[in-house]
């Protein structure tokens, strides 16, 4: 089969990690007889430098016309002093909204081979964990009204958290359906003891619950969820939450998997189209040094194969290749532990492709 993939390398380590993910897709294509055509487009700091805006219209159009999008990461200190709407991160929010991607899926899995890189006490992760975060992506405080005003106490700033029943039901259904395909447990995270938007969130999830009697659905306050993730991560199956809470909790979960360099994500709207990216940022501190871990981006490519292109066997093969490389003791610096061999970005990508070819 033939597929058109838009690739947004972005800034910092973005070009290095997307480079390895593209090569892994090409290797999958060779092995399984598919053709991928990749169209490279600009977003983020590099787009600001070239076009003066973080998300050129042409980038959005090419993404819309593709079967799906692979993204590295955007941002960096060079653009940190620009006004909010012109910063690289505005490109991220713009592309999510522009492509109607309201559901962000972030799996956080503790690989057996990486147990040593998990900062929790070994007895807390004896049974491992496999959590799927379902984060609402186009609402809440990141998209609500914001501004500054004069008050008696001097200048003040505000950001607004707002959710409609439509938005909560829409993300809730994605989460309930995914829980149905997994361990049939859904935890809805909110701050209903304080926030009105969370009280509406909770009421709406409770109404939806009636439609999914086979899924055990519980509520948890976000502060407790932050604690439970490091106390007993194995208790969670699927977690559904708002844009901001999901952003913070999934980064916490990434740390207990051993490295932020391991976690992929998918952003979905209606239909099979999606945008796939690692959950980490552009890591300017290690950019251009062949030190970045490409696995989160390679696993994002595997999610792209499975979710958007419906190539289940191909996705499994790529994920198995990653597992095999880790089991054989090969590591990038961020997940290095005693007795293992450290590789650079390009060498790790090559090792995954070799494992794919062998497997």
142 is an active site residue: yes
Among the listed residues 223, 285, 327, 357, the single catalytic one is 223
Of 103-111, 188-196, 199-207, 277-285, which part binds ligand NAD (CB under 6 A)? 277-285
Among the listed residues 130, 184, 185, 251, the single catalytic one is 251
**Nearest residue to 239 via CA among 96, 106, 102:** 106
Residue 24 buriedness (CB in 10 A; 0-12 / 13-18 / 19+): buried
Whether 1 and 37 have beta carbons less than 8 Å apart is answered as no
Contact flag: residue 74 with ligand NAD (CB under 6 A): yes
Contact flag: residue 92 with ligand NAD (CB under 6 A): yes
Among the listed residues 23, 42, 163, 191, the single catalytic one is 191
191 is an active site residue: yes
**Nearest residue to 174 via CA among 188, 194, 156:** 188
**E-strand stretches of 95-245:** 103-109, 130-136, 146-151, 154-159, 185-190, 216-221, 238-241
Contact flag: residue 293 with ligand NAD (CB under 6 A): yes
What residues between 338 and 357 interact with ligand NAD by CB under 6 A?
Answer: none
Contact flag: residue 130 with ligand NAD (CB under 6 A): no
Structure-token pair, residue 325: 């490389």
Whether 76 and 45 have beta carbons less than 8 Å apart is answered as yes
Residue from 9, 172, 281, 349 in contact with ligand NAD (CB under 6 A): 281
Contact flag: residue 283 with ligand NAD (CB under 6 A): yes
Whether 4 and 29 have beta carbons less than 8 Å apart is answered as no
Residue from 141, 249, 286, 303 in contact with ligand NAD (CB under 6 A): 286
Site string for ligand NAD, 239-268 (x = CB under 6 A): ---------------------xx-------
163 is an active site residue: no
Residue from 9, 54, 76, 172 in contact with ligand NAD (CB under 6 A): 76
Residue from 15, 19, 56, 75 in contact with ligand NAD (CB under 6 A): 75
Whether 246 and 265 have beta carbons less than 8 Å apart is answered as no
What is residue 102's three-state secondary structure?
A: coil
Whether 303 and 178 have beta carbons less than 8 Å apart is answered as no
What residues between 168 and 227 interact with ligand NAD by CB under 6 A?
Answer: none
Under rule CB under 6 A, how many of the chain's residues touch ligand NAD? 21
209 is an active site residue: no
Q: Which residues contact 329 (CB under 8 A, 6 or more apart)?
A: 113, 339, 340, 341
Contact flag: residue 312 with ligand NAD (CB under 6 A): no
Angle at 268 between CA 246 and CA 41, to 5 degrees: 105
b/e string for 103-142 if b means 16 or more Cβ within 10 A? bbbbbbbbbebbeebbebeeeebeeebebbbbbbbbbbbb
Contact flag: residue 54 with ligand NAD (CB under 6 A): no
247 is an active site residue: yes
Contact flag: residue 280 with ligand NAD (CB under 6 A): yes
User: Which CB, 13 or 41, lies closer to ligand NAD?
Assistant: 13
User: Which CB, 102 or 201, lies closer to ligand NAD?
Assistant: 102
Phi first, then psi: give them for residue 241, nearest 5 degrees.
Answer: -160, 175
**DSSP 8-state symbol, 150:** E
Of 170-178, 225-233, 282-290, 306-314, which part binds ligand NAD (CB under 6 A)? 282-290
Among the listed residues 67, 190, 219, 247, the single catalytic one is 247
Q: For binding to ligand NAD (CB under 6 A), which residues are involved?
A: 13, 73-76, 89, 92, 260-261, 277, 280-286, 292-293, 296, 334
| Catalytically active residues, by annotation | 142, 191, 223, 247, 251
């Amino acid at each position: 089969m033939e597929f058109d993939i838009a690739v947004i390398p972005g800034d910092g380590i973005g070009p290095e990690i997307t480079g390895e993910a593209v090569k892994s897709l090409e290797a999958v294509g060779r092995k399984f007889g598919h053709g991928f055509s990749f169209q490279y487009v600009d977003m983020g700091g590099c787009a600001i430098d070239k076009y003066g805006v973080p998300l050129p219209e042409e980038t959005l159009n090419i993404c819309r016309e593709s079967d799906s999008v692979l993204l590295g990461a955007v941002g960096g200190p060079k653009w940190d002093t620009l006004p909010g709407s012109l910063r690289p991160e505005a490109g991220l929010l713009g592309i999510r909204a522009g492509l109607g991607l309201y559901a962000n899926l972030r799996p956080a899995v503790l690989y057996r081979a990486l147990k040593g890189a998990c900062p929790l006490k070994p007895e807390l992760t004896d049974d491992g964990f496999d959590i799927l975060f379902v984060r609402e992506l186009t609402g809440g405080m990141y998209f609500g009204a914001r501004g500054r005003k004069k008050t008696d106490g001097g200048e003040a700033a505000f950001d607004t958290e707002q959710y409609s029943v439509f938005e909560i039901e829409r993300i809730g259904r994605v989460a309930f359906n995914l829980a149905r395909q997994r361990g049939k447990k859904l935890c809805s995270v909110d701050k209903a003891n304080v926030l009105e938007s969370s009280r509406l969130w909770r009421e709406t999830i409770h109404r939806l619950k009636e439609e999914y009697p086979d899924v055990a659905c519980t509520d948890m306050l976000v502060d407790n969820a932050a604690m439970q993730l490091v106390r007993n991560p194995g208790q969670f199956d699927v977690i559904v939450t708002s844009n901001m809470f999901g952003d913070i909790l999934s980064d916490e979960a990434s740390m207990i998997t051993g490295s932020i360099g391991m976690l992929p994500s998918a952003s979905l709207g209606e239909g099979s189209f999606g945008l796939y990216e690692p959950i980490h940022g552009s890591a300017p501190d290690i950019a251009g040094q062949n030190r970045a871990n490409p696995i989160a981006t390679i696993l994002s490519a595997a999610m792209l194969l499975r979710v958007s292109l419906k190539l289940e066997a191909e996705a499994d093969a790529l994920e198995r290749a990653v597992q095999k490389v880790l089991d054989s003791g090969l590591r990038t610096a961020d997940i290095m532990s005693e007795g293992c061999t450290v590789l650079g970005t390009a060498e790790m990508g090559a090792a995954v492709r070799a494992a794919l070819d062998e497997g």
